[in-house]
Chain A
Amino acid sequence: MTYLWLALAFVVASAVAGVAFARGAGRRHWQATGIAFAALAVLTAVFDSVMIGMELFHYDSQHLLGASIGLAPVEDFAYPLAGVLALPGLWAWMTRRRRTLDGGHPTTPHADAKAGSTDGLTGLLPQAFVASRPISWINTAYPFAAAMLLTTREVDWVLIVGTFYFLVPYNLAMYGINDVFDYASDLKNPRKGGIEGALLAPRLHRPMLWLAAVTNVPFLVVLAAAGGPASWLPLLVSAFAVVAYSAAGLRFKERPVLDSITSSTHFVSPAVVGLAIAGATVTPGLVILLAAFFMWGMAAHAFGAVQDIEPDRQADIASIATVFGARRTVRTAVVLWLLAGLAMLATPWSGPLAALIAIPYIVNCARWWNVTDTTAARTNVAWRRFIWLNYGSGFLVTLILILQWSLTS
């Protein structure tokens, strides 16, 4: 039965994507889809049987329904079905975009080629790359990889796939969605357009959201399948936090305190997902460690929001910093980092070593203990230092994890 569920997950995902992409493509699109599937089904019945007969691959029979056409198990027909549902839709969407640019008139191949350079998707991939904040990729992939590796003690395919997911697609979704829905405030913020985020052209907003969806959903399905039911809640929370942070309607980033909590979830949830997939045992030490990490993340978010107080207020965007004010926010961040460090002292050896890592953050931030709302923008200096501080901390955390590894193996 397992193959059926796996196939259903992928077919449903591709059907949803296909229908969304093909919206407005007309009746003929679906007629052609039907013809293509009929032909593919015949080809599948013939060639799948030949390939299975030639022993190119086989199946674990306990995962199959048992019904087959020729030698091909019925579940195999899900492959051409998913392909024919999703791919023509994506094709119709991409080619339609360029046609509407020519006013809907049938185009000559020459005009078609010329439209290609100015069509609606030009620059999407470079923008997506910048939007995903490559400098911060490691911040989400590392917690996942470290948590999983330390639990399973081996590099398997789930570790590789999951690390890649939290390295790129996850960040593309998180920051891409953010840049789409923050366009208004980013316009007023001179800081945007570099390593701290792209200023995303409105014509790329919808494509960016689609790109985030199609690059994330397959990975989430695969990780959920690999991790089993224990991983579903952490994956759900993780994906929800990514969307809820900035998407219209939810906008957790505009709900003071909830904004810091959600932001921290972005960094802690990959670790929880890693632990869940690896089947880690929940110990008090592990819970304290995750709590300390969570406080560290909340402090990082709160402190980062201080520099944006002015542009955020101008754009009527609330954050923990616009509501608390610069001074109280900075002090809250210092206290949270302090608590995170103290919490690490309560973890089993070699965890207490990590308490030292809190110190540079506290020093970097405490300088702004008496900051005012008018001088808040200057904390950008400390924020830039913070980005590099994270690399240093990552190095120290790695050393501690190696020590931990050698102590426990």
Chain B
Amino acid sequence: MGVIYLASLLAGIVCMLLLDHRFRLFFWHDAKAATVVTAVGLAFFLAWDIAGIGLGIFLRGESAIATGILFAPELPLEEPVFLLFLILCTMVLFTGAREVLARAADRKGTGGASAAARSSHGKPARERENA
């Protein structure tokens, strides 16, 4: 049984969390909200997977790099871990993109009213870096 796939996924998750930590994007921005978003996302994607498996669309592979451990027919151990990675990746990309957009707007001096209305998105990270 192989652990390469599982290990790669876990490594990917660690990388996402490091980015999150460095720029205070998601869990390090608001742990409670991030937990809820992750849990809802995981439940949503798992329901989708299970529906696909039930309809006979998704089939597990017989790859040598997978552990072969199954939660349910055609639902390997790695799948929820992959979904977790997908959610983290999505949220790090989104919160990161928002941060970049906010900074670009600040630099252009289009701040003013929009900067005040922009709220805390991006603020904590910058304040921390300046400190």
- Give the interface of A toward B (CB within 8 A): 2-3, 6, 10, 14, 26, 28-29, 31-33, 35-36, 39-40, 43, 51, 54-60, 63-64, 79-80, 82-84, 86-88, 90-91, 94-96, 98-99, 104-109, 112, 116, 157-158, 161, 214, 218-219, 221-222, 225-226
Contacts and interface: CB of A to CB of B under 8 A. Distances in A.
A33 to B, nearest CB: 6
A94 B62 CA distance: 41
B18 interface: no
A82 B61 CA distance: 24
19 contacts: A3-B57, A6-B48, A35-B93, A36-B90, A36-B93, A36-B94, A56-B78, A63-B55, A87-B37, A90-B37, A94-B33, A94-B36, A98-B30, A106-B123, A107-B123, A116-B32, A221-B51, A222-B50, A225-B51
- Nearest first, the 7 A-B pairs at minimum CB distance are A94-B33, A36-B93, A32-B97, A35-B97, A32-B98, A55-B61, A36-B94
B1 interface: no
A86 B40 CA distance: 10
Q: Is the interface of A mostly helix, strand, loop or mixed?
A: helix
B14 interface: no
Interface of B: 5, 24, 26, 29-30, 32-34, 36-37, 40-41, 43-45, 47-48, 50-63, 65-66, 72-73, 78, 86-87, 89-91, 93-95, 97-98, 100-102, 105, 116-121, 123-124, 127-128
B40 A32 contact: no
Given A31-B101, A32-B97, A79-B45, 18 more contacts: A2-B57, A28-B118, A32-B95, A35-B100, A36-B90, A36-B97, A54-B61, A55-B63, A57-B61, A82-B44, A83-B86, A88-B95, A90-B37, A91-B37, A107-B120, A108-B124, A157-B73, A225-B51
Contact of A95 (B30, B66, B90, B100): B30
Nearest to A222: B51
